Chain A
């Protein structure tokens, strides 16, 4: 394959449309390379975000041929078909310009979640004893690169636009890493239920499918958190104990 045609969405908050660009390819080209080439040669004001170009920073999220991807990890040859390759911004967030969306809402949601709150250190040097099997579960969630692709496909956010009531899969993953941190004594159950709206998730697993870090978002993060919420909410004794003795964690 020596060249390919791209239809890239150009526009801003007022609206926009696809523009067509022909790009000469080099071996191994990813979609982000093509966007950069368009930027350097045809449209210097074409806006996109990127940093690492290796799937590590989660900056370059977009929709390629309609599916949410990291542009830097999407080989052109894998998405090329008969027609042009379309590249457009994530649709669950307001567009700023071209491929750049306003993802600031995610930062606000995260700031409202209780951070890891450690118990007293186990040793005098301020450290804790933790075993590999204890950290493995939360380590899976800490692989998250905050690409927000899961947020982008979740129907609660994308179709129902329930950003005010629902924190979205990324933040359940975030809450899960804190809840399952072996030294954490924080308690996020009420927040998960009342403010993060975990009950709205109906386990469609679309988020898990798109996660570039292969985090089992639904099975390993959301479902266990839902169980914590249910256990707490429907067990009056646990609730009472929780109120009397502080947090109780599983």
Chain B
């Protein structure tokens, strides 16, 4: 039978991306014993891939910016389904969290007067994103990692958590295995923070790595937490589409922030065609004004390429559907054209977008300083996530369980603005760490159930014990991803969503037949088999919530309900496990917004 390695921490943080690292740093600073668990090596989490920047209204480039504008931009971007309290905290605290990183070694690009430089991004009224070329995520994760390892925390690298442990209602730890040798680990903890990132791997075309299988969403759900806004999946408008091996890899919005334009196969800048009413006043109506905006003219309005991601993605799909797409089914993204305006444009592009230059050169054989790129939508980000208290990040229903970062829900509503994730990570990572430490201090006594541990071990070993079967875990994963892509993707309708729910339940039934050959040492087949439960859980939550929302709003588009419907703007969808184990979707009213915040939204227009 199984032997376990046991660890005890005051606060256990699951996930070592920006959110998990920031939470762990904060908890350690509060003087409690902290354990940090991650599936990959430290420093390799998704956050490392973030490119464009981190939103914080420091006003270094345009002093008219401030938290109020950032708050209003975030709410508008989220089509007012956001938790307004989270949007307020996020807007107020992100400048502090950004500056703090410099004290820990981060080096952002600079303004001429020696401050942190900020760049334009979609949906942000002023240049707001602190950045380092197009490798901002690397800067952030490395800074937090290199600072974190000196704060006295135990890091458990390459360990996957498969289940949360409960003491009654309360979460008191986690069960997992080390990837290296497949040994089981039990983490007992007074408080647990989920910071497991996203779930893009539920779809076929995605910018997410193998890690993005929605583990935290699913671990939380099965432990009794509520998931909110799960219908809102961000399809980033610009993923690579050719050659096939790079499909889905992200092309940062920074390309458009630096002046990149979108064109169809007739060479038309189709983004000027139809501008959503919410944004008409803020958007340039001619290319010349758009160019002035990206080069810093404060009187100019932003080019339509910098509208919110949901809109840009849909516009690209429309061009393709109407026969104006690029050869491989996308649109052209052109940054090379800025040579009309900038003398040494080649050097400029390489300096501002070095990793994009490299990525296209190496992987697609395209020189972006001279040629246009081909791009199309890619599954990128989960707006939905675990429902939490906006101030403490504790889950609404499971005491002692906290969530921060992409796995958390609320801040982004129906659509996230670019750059608002990196800031989300540090703002709410910090809060989760602080309040988890406090919870641990206030609630020292708990017990862990041996029964539950045994159950978890049996569940984890099952695919290996079945050995090689006719059903290969990679095939089953592919089947799910292909189905989700076609039925729960960027354009949805009732019938497809109902079929999707059916397929998900069918595939869930097959899980018991999936087997993995080989032994417990570093065995991707086994690991993939175990990830399936999470993928299926989040897929079901997405499909059910999407079917319930019979309107189009933000990232959620219904072909059979193409318009936004004001009746749907007063509540969020919440998914939880019903008493019979079935997944249920409910409506939850959005709390009445504070009058002073409502006034800000109205003032900012």
Contacts and interface: CB of A to CB of B under 8 A. Distances in A.
A58 B112 CA distance: 32
A111 B150 contact: yes
Contacts, number: 175
B110 A146 contact: no
Contact of B359 (A47, A55, A100): A55
Contacts of A115: 104-105, 146-147, 150
Given A44-B517, A57-B44, A50 B210 contact: yes
Given A26-B244, A30-B363, A49-B40, A135 B107 contact: yes
Contacts of A50: 209-210
B135 A51 contact: no
B210 A51 contact: yes
B34 interface: no
Nearest to A99: B522
A73 interface: yes
A132 B49 contact: no
Given A73-B363, A111-B150, A57 B110 contact: no
B115 A59 contact: no
B521 A12 contact: yes
A130 B110 contact: yes
B114 interface: yes
Given A40-B475, A56-B135, A142 B142 contact: yes
A125 interface: yes
A183 B105 CA distance: 9
Contacts of A199: none
A201 interface: no
Nearest to B248: A53
Interface stretch (B95-103, B338-346, B426-434): B95-103
A81 interface: no
Could you tell me the dominant secondary structure of chain A's interface residues?
Answer: loop
A79 interface: no
A28 B180 contact: no
B139 A59 contact: no
Interface stretch (B449-457, B523-531, B550-558): B523-531
Contacts of B49: 51-52, 54, 56-57
Contact of A129 (B104, B114, B149): B114
A135 B132 CA distance: 11
A46 B524 contact: yes
A28 B474 contact: no
A25 to B, nearest CB: 9
B474 A45 contact: no
Interface of A: 12, 26-30, 33, 39-41, 44-59, 73, 75, 96-98, 100, 103-104, 107, 110-111, 115-116, 118, 121, 125-132, 135, 138-139, 142-143, 145-146, 177-178, 181, 183-184
Given A30-B363, A57-B49, A103-B41, 17 more contacts: A12-B521, A27-B244, A27-B245, A33-B245, A44-B468, A44-B472, A47-B521, A51-B46, A51-B210, A54-B359, A56-B138, A57-B209, A126-B99, A129-B115, A135-B107, A135-B109, A145-B48
